[in-house]
Amino acid sequence: MMNYKTITYERLGETLYEYDHPSGLKAFLVRKPGYNKKTALFATDYGSIDNVFKKSDGQVMRVPDGIAHFLEHKLFEQEDGNMLDKFSRMGSSPNAFTSFNQTAYYFTCTDLFEENFRMLLDYVQNPWLTDENVEKEKGIIGQEIRMYEDSPDWRLFFNLLDCLYVNHPVKVDIAGTLDSIAQINKELLYECYNAFYTPSNMVVVVSGDVDPELVFTTVDSMIKSKDRGKPEKRYPEEPEEVNLTYKEQKLRVSMPLFNMGIKDPVRVSGYELLKRRTALGIILAAIMGRSSELFNRLYYDGLINDSFRFEVSADQSYGFVNWGGQSSDPERVAGEIRREIEATVEKGLDQEVFDRIRKSHEGVFVRTLNSPDVIAREMMDCYFNKTSYFELSRIFEELDLAYTNQILRSLFTKTTVLSVIHPI
């Protein structure tokens, strides 16, 4: 019998199984009895912003932008073939992503879970890098970078981040630049792999109708690497002030695009970070969500359309809120939204509106628990941010109007920046 922990969340009707591997790796299973779909994810707390770090031997490394994303590409290529093909032959759907903070490898399947799971745990622990295949990959990633340079939504977003941030690497494209990837070589990739792909810096999450004994005995037999300790991530000092208040670019679009944002200078982690994210989501929904007076007025005046979205991005080293979409008159919309924010800050959120949106967002959270994919990704993100996705249940119970209004008044009085893409 494996020695694992079982946590029951009565209010949600969910059970979480946790296993601490001797190497320092953490493994989770969210069991979903009766579900056909199974998802397994193997991730490292290493993303595009982690280009300066202190290794466990004390050496400080400074590496080129885009190296985390480059490694993600290379891990799929093994000496005996491409992992995407191998998973597909087993009837599963594999993928991976590099974000600002994490790199994750995962698959979904309905059958042959154990075989797919073993394959996932194996290839992520065994990089195969040669001078030739690294050089070849530069051409592939170079094409990807050029594609993103022509993507209006991508450029809109990174122009916004350039407005918000002076020094923080979150403003740098996840894939890096053509110049930065030209500096990447096999030795640097192995340095970064050995620093960050170490058990105590990684997590395994499984979601679906799978037996805990199977999951954890497989983890136990497959995790071979010795722990080298977590690298110490280093980020430059970031002032509270923004870099720019406005940035525009011309690209091939049929209608102008706009994105507005506010930089959040407050740095928290764990439960407090999850609570802050939740409050910020409620504030944005109250000011500019689909049921708000502002959204409906702008929509019926033809100034925004169904493309309008808002988002909260908050991590331990950076944070911001942003919103936007298509508009025939971005500057006018920006003015209207700024005035609405000022008015909301002055009067505060209304109790009735707060309660309605809080309940609605809690309902969305509960519905995500039907998706093994979402569960795996959110469990991973929360673990690396020192909390648990299931803590959201307690947050929705505890969150009150006073706390939310205090966040509103402290953050939404700060500078709002605007990024615009105009048609050529």
* Residues tagged active-site: 72
Contacts for 359-362 with beta carbons within 8 Å, 24 or more apart?
360/285, 361/278, 361/281, 361/282, 361/285, 361/396, 362/392, 362/396
E strand or H helix that includes residue 219 = helix 212-222
> b/e map of 42-71 (b: 16 or more CB within 10 Å)?
bbbbbbbbbbebebeeeeebebbbbbbbbb
Give the separation between CA 378 and CA 393, rounded to whole angstroms.
14
Give 200's contacts (C-beta < 8 A, 6+ positions apart): 23, 24, 25, 227, 229, 230
Backbone φ and ψ for 112, nearest 5 degrees, come out as 55, 40
208: left (phi over 0), alpha (psi -120 to 50) or beta: left
Q: For residue 298, count other CB atoms closer than 10 A to its CB.
A: 22
Indicate the helix (H) or strand (E) that contains 123.
helix 113-124
**Burial category of 86 from C-beta neighbours within 10 Å (exposed 0-12, middle 13-18, buried 19 and up):** middle
